[in-house]
Amino acid sequence: MNRKEVVLTGLAAAGGAVHTPVQVQKLFFLIDKNIPELVGGPHFGFYPYNYGPFDPDVYRVLEELTSEGLVELVPDRTWTDYRLTREGQASGDQVLSALPKKAAEYIRRASTFVRTLSFTQLVSAIYKAYPEMCENSVFQS
């Protein structure tokens, strides 16, 4: 898999749900950290930042997918959320269904995990599981 396929797959696992910036960063961190061998990764170079693991390349891939008509930007207060377009969902579903069962199940669970926690809960959970990622944090859990 390449980066774009990983991003499409991760977003497709949500079945059309919107992802916030913190959710996409943590989702792709979890995939890279926990199942790299199942998805041909790691695909990103996450490092400790203000709110835990961060790689600006996640946003670059999302921008590329937006320009290709596969991701749409959803303005939300002071930031932009991300959602697959119909074409993006179809592409992501196709890649997701071609993955080994273990990988697809993990991605679905990780997607649900990042979307069901509040910002504070998500960042705190990542720090608890990966304490090395709170090194440069401005967030106090």
Q: Where are the domains of the chain?
A: 3-134
pTM of the model: 0.94
Write out residues in the chain with pLDDT < 70, as ranges: 139-141
**What's the pLDDT at 141?**
53
Cβ count near 38 (within 10 Å): 17
* 81: exposed, middle or buried (Cβ count in 10 Å: 0-12, 13-18, 19+): middle
Strands (E), 1-141: 47-49, 52-54, 71-76, 79-84
**What's the pLDDT at 140?**
60
Tokens of 9: 């797959």
Distance CA 95, CA 76 (A): 28
Distance CA 93, CA 56 (A): 25
CATH topology of domain 3-134: Arc Repressor Mutant, subunit A (1.10.10)
Distance CA 42, CA 33 (A): 7
H/E run at residue 94: helix 86-98
**What's the pLDDT at 138?**
76
**Overall residue count recorded for the chain in this entry:** 141
